[in-house]
Structure 1
Amino acid sequence: MTVLSVLIPAHEEAAYLPACMAALLASEPVPTGGVQIVVMANGCSDDTVAVAEGYRAQVADKGWTLDVLVIARGGKLNALNEGEAVAKGAALLYLDADVVVSPPLVAQIADVLSGDAPAYASGVPHVTVGADPMTRAYTRFWLTTPFMVHGVPGFGVFAMNRAGRARWGDWPDIISDDTFARLNFTPAERHRVPATYDWPMIDGFARLVRVRRRQDAGVAEVAQLFPDLMRNDDVHDRTVPIWKRALRDPVAFAAFAALRLAVRLPAQRHGDRWVRGR
């Protein structure tokens, strides 16, 4: 069996997929047993499929395999189900198409998931930001929150072995797949490998509000539909108190507080549960 299947759900990702694929193909060392890349092009009207197909020769040179699925219906969760149907790996790595992995990440994840016991893994997120001052200030404070300081956040990149994936059937039609996946594992079963990956923060206050509202709604949805999973959330009792963090960087705290307030304003709400913000 292939040691690892990398599943990339891609909706209108022609502009982002080249950096994602180039970084993936630069992975070193190469995991023993081979890697399968599955690009799930779902509901695309751009050149996502052609871009993905253009990497066949490079994937073959790496000794890996590539499957490009053309899925008429858009939707990330359906794409994950379709991708898993062809996945051959002993472990599954779920990778957003706008994420850039560092060279050691794939091998480190494959290694930590090689045991028989259910296990989940991700790397260390390196959050990249654009030029917007408000976004940069917000991000500085967000990086000090308990979610980012402790545990294994897993946004943008997460993985599990087959024993872990056996804990549920098809992916449910929910907003936050990464929250659902992470909470299907206890904190002791979640592993953060030292390798990093680049994850882009949405740039611009209004777009950031929309995306953060969607993320809050996704967590609340998981808590409502799968309340038993919440017992697996991290206990953040070692985090520096918020007032101390605010005093260290009052500008960042002000930006963070302003955005959190905007997220909660009813006047700003809308019904698009799939808004992406970019």
Structure 2
Amino acid sequence: MLSVIIPASNEAGYIGGCLTALFASGDLGAEVVVVANGCRDATAEVARGYASAAAAAGWGFSVLDLAEGGKPNALNAGDGAARGDLRAYLDADVVVSPKLMAQVIAALTVEAPRYVAGTPRIPRPRSAVTRAYARFWQTLPFAQSKAGGYGFFAVNAAGRARWGAFPRIISDDTFVRLQFLPEERVQVAASYDWPMIEGFAALTRVRRRQDAGVAEIDRLYPGLLAREGKLPLTKPQLLRLMLRDPVGFATYAAVSLAVRLKRGSGWTRGR
């Protein structure tokens, strides 16, 4: 059985769309565990309002309401409540396509350890700066690597045995992906919408956090980044991309420069 765990902190405006799309997958004999954590809004209440929709779609459904915030804590609580041998971890602002979960289940139904992700799609951003950044970002080799797992990833039982509790680190998704060699990662064709945060300042904060997360993993788990398997960006490739989209390049470069000029740490919302 597939258990979908959704950590949700102050996601009252997004959790409904996430759940509606998930239940449109049909009756797969699956369950969803929403983990509202440290919320100052009605995330848990809104989520509980979808219990009847879950039942109608044939999904098991539960909502945990934790006073303590923190995504690793929410993920661990969700794992503790989940019943399935297959585990998927879904951000509350992600919208899956109807075929994604069935394809994920099929890809995970093997004895060997597997890490599975869908094909991410960035919805059209509202702000011009995020549109330019996202357009250029999607052309970079590391953004096009197989099974990136941005906002959504899943593992089978043998894969979940690769690590214990989620550690209290910034980049839990990168940590999990690197438990698997590139040949153990599978990207299915079905897509999901992964929104990018709006505005220059927000992009800079999130990019700074992402860089800090990678540095933290390199410090705490020496050698783990060697499993990444992402293609490097060569200077000739960068020049071609820059000439093809000078506005996108300038926006991406400006965000990168802003990150270098001011370092920061701590949790930042991914949108």
Using the size of structure 1 for normalisation, the TM-score is 0.93
SS class of match (2:153): strand
Shift of 1:128: 1.9
Code of the residue aligned with 1:39 in structure 2: it is V
The match for 1:261 is 257
Shift of 1:238: 8.8
Q: Does 1:133 align with 2:122?
A: no
Shift of 1:231: 2.2
Aligned-partner Cα distance in 2 for 1:86–1:134:
40
Q: Does 1:4 align with 2:23?
A: no
The match for 1:103 is 98
Q: How does 1:208-219 map to 2 (within 5 A)?
A: 208-219=203-214
Shift of 1:228: 2.8
The match for 1:275 is 268
Shift of 1:70: 1.2
Shift of 1:130: 2.3
SS class of match (1:141): helix
Q: Does 1:80 align with 2:75?
A: yes
Q: Say whether the 8 Å CA contact 1:104–1:195 is kept in structure 2.
A: yes
Shift of 1:232: 1.1
Aligned-partner Cα distance in 1 for 2:93–2:136:
23
Q: How does 1:32-111 map to 2 (within 5 A)?
A: 34-111=29-106
Aligned residues: 270
Shift of 1:139: 1.1
Shift of the 142–100 alpha-carbon distance from structure 1 to 2, 3 Å rule, reads: same
5+ long unaligned stretches in structure 2: none
Shift of 1:235: 4.1
Code of the residue aligned with 1:6 in structure 2: it is V
Q: Does 1:248 align with 2:244?
A: yes
Q: Say whether the 8 Å CA contact 2:12–2:46 is kept in structure 1.
A: yes
Shift of the 154–11 alpha-carbon distance from structure 1 to 2, 3 Å rule, reads: same
Code of the residue aligned with 1:10 in structure 2: it is A
Deviations 1:88-126 (A, max 9, x none): 112100000000000000110011001111000011110
Match of 1:190 among 163, 169, 185: 185
| Structure 1 stretches of at least 4 aligned residues deviating more than 6 Å after TM superposition | none
Code of the residue aligned with 1:276 in structure 2: it is R
SS class of match (2:122): strand
5+ long unaligned stretches in structure 1: none
Q: Say whether the 8 Å CA contact 1:129–1:202 is kept in structure 2.
A: no
Using the size of structure 2 for normalisation, the TM-score is 0.96
Shift of the 175–238 alpha-carbon distance from structure 1 to 2, 3 Å rule, reads: closer
The match for 2:13 is 15
SS class of match (1:163): helix
Deviations 1:174-233 (A, max 9, x none): 001110011100000000000000011111001110111001111111111112322211
Shift of 1:136: 1.0
Q: Say whether the 8 Å CA contact 1:151–1:234 is kept in structure 2.
A: no
SS class of match (1:241): helix
Aligned-partner Cα distance in 1 for 2:79–2:183:
25
Shift of the 238–75 alpha-carbon distance from structure 1 to 2, 3 Å rule, reads: closer
Over aligned residues, Cα RMSD in angstroms? 1.5
- Identity, % of aligned pairs? 54
Deviations 1:208-266 (A, max 9, x none): 10111001111111111112322211141698711111111111111111111111103
Aligned-partner Cα distance in 1 for 2:270–2:145:
26
Stretch of structure 1 that moved more, 235-244 or 48-57 = 235-244
SS class of match (1:5): strand
Q: Does 1:227 align with 2:225?
A: no
